[in-house]
Structure 1
Amino acid sequence: MDDFLDNLAGDLAPVRRRSPRLEILALAALCALELSLFLAAGLARPNLAAALGLPVFWWKLISLGTLALLGFATALRSFAPEVSPRRGLQLMAMAVVLALGAGWLFDAAMDGGGDLAARLDWRDGLHCVGFVVGLSAPPVALLAALMRRAAATHAPGSSLAIGAGAAAWAAFVFVFACPHDDPLYVAVWYGFSCGLTLFLVRLLLPRLARW
């Protein structure tokens, strides 16, 4: 039995002690840098000042910002071997339902009827997908490195939290460039963009972030 256990543990290395405060600071710094570079590149919508006065614009920012914070917090907590990400993921699911409900109320108040194809605008929608997937890559890479270093024991759940948090953050950043304030457009294309990011991260990360 001793030889069997020695063989199992023979190629294992000590896990470095984590510093949650440094992890949070690193993630916050990366997100701040990404948002700053995005705005500095001149990608903000031309009528951003006017958009800041629209309640639906703040609905987008608050909903996505809340989801990003929940996702990042859930992911970082789940890197501890004894912590499960399940509760955090459940809170995120509830937040998504509340955000969609608020969007439906905005849509009803705005009387957003009209041509469905014009409301969804698939060309801008594909543009949204590309940006969200691309902007999610830096936080995914950082969190994957932290996950691997911490030797998380709930890889599938941690991957879901990472994907959800990074996708919501990427969509939060893209809000400043997106010219569409139609709640239906936001629900469809932002939802698809975040869902695609979540699927890719959940598919790939458990294979790439093993310890």
Structure 2
Amino acid sequence: MKTEEFIDLLAQDTAPAFAFRTLFLAATLTGVAIAGLVFFTAIGVRPDVERALRTGRFLFKFVITVPLALGAVGLLLSLARPGTDIGLWRWVVFASPALLLGAVASELWLLPPAAWRGQMIGHNGRLCLTLIPLLSLGPLACLLAVLRRGAPAHPGRTGAAAGLTAAAIAATFYAANCDDDSPLFVAFWYPMAFAVMAAAGYGLGQRLLRW
């Protein structure tokens, strides 16, 4: 056997069956499917969803969570591959909190100060802090599993981004159940649930994603 033929055989043996990007997207979609399955079988949409769909405040929650989830997926994919520019995805992720802060400012302007606290606290805060992390578990597990096949330069930071991505996916489903639609509620409770998952992802990333 010639040397060139031997090298070609070695290359074929070590080449991955699928590109990392393909595996990453498959893991992300699997995580979304798991979160959706848990949501629709164990939680479900709110009873008045048909009425809610005709209100701007209900739909606005998805204007926040969907772009955040998409941006976080792009950011995470970039972090998993050293040398990839994350500039664009960073701005996509930051766009959601910027929109939310604008909505909060509008809400504070329109509502009397006496109503601010009630809108912010709502009556689903405990559910928010329970269901978003619960729905995040499947996506986070899928993302961490595929990230072990990548080469993240910063394992903790990448794990935190995985936690944020999983939480954004979960929040998109949870928003269809929650009947607290005020931007004040979303700005107060959702970030706490996101922080829990980002912290969990950071710790897991430090342990699981080191080279």
Q: Structure 1 length as normaliser, TM-score?
A: 0.80
Moved more, 80-89 or 41-50: 80-89
Change (3 A) 1:115 1:55: closer
Q: Matches of 2:84 and 2:129 in 1, distance apart? A: 32
Q: Is the 8 A contact 1:145 1:209 kept in 2?
A: no
User: Post-superposition shift, 1:59?
Assistant: 1.1
| Paired letter, 2:54 | G
Q: Matches of 2:72 and 2:190 in 1, distance apart? A: 16
Mark the runs of 5 or more structure 1 residues left unpaired by the alignment: 1-13
Name the Cα RMSD after superposition: 2.6
Q: Matches of 1:131 and 1:189 in 2, distance apart? A: 12
Q: Matches of 1:95 and 1:124 in 2, distance apart? A: 22
Q: Matches of 1:101 and 1:125 in 2, distance apart? A: 21
Instruction: Name 2:94's counterpart in structure 1.
Output: 93
Q: Does 1:202 align with 2:207?
A: no
Mark the runs of 5 or more structure 2 residues left unpaired by the alignment: 1-13
Change (3 A) 1:106 1:116: closer
Moved more, 112-121 or 141-150: 112-121
The number of residue pairs the alignment matches comes to 197
- Using the aligned pairs only, state the percent identity: 26
Structure 1 residue matching 2:148: 3-state secondary structure: helix
Q: Is the 8 A contact 2:140 2:162 kept in 1?
A: yes
Q: Matches of 1:59 and 1:112 in 2, distance apart? A: 21
Q: Deviations over 1:184-204 (max 9, x none)?
A: 111101121112221221233
Q: Matches of 1:129 and 1:196 in 2, distance apart? A: 9
Change (3 A) 1:174 1:74: same
Structure 2 residue matching 1:67: 3-state secondary structure: helix
Q: Matches of 2:168 and 2:118 in 1, distance apart? A: 25
Q: Does 1:83 align with 2:76?
A: no
User: Post-superposition shift, 1:87?
Assistant: 5.3
1:23-38 pair list within 5 angstroms: 23-38=24-39
Instruction: Name 2:146's counterpart in structure 1.
Output: 146
Change (3 A) 1:116 1:99: closer
User: Post-superposition shift, 1:84?
Assistant: 5.2
Instruction: Name 1:119's counterpart in structure 2.
Output: 119
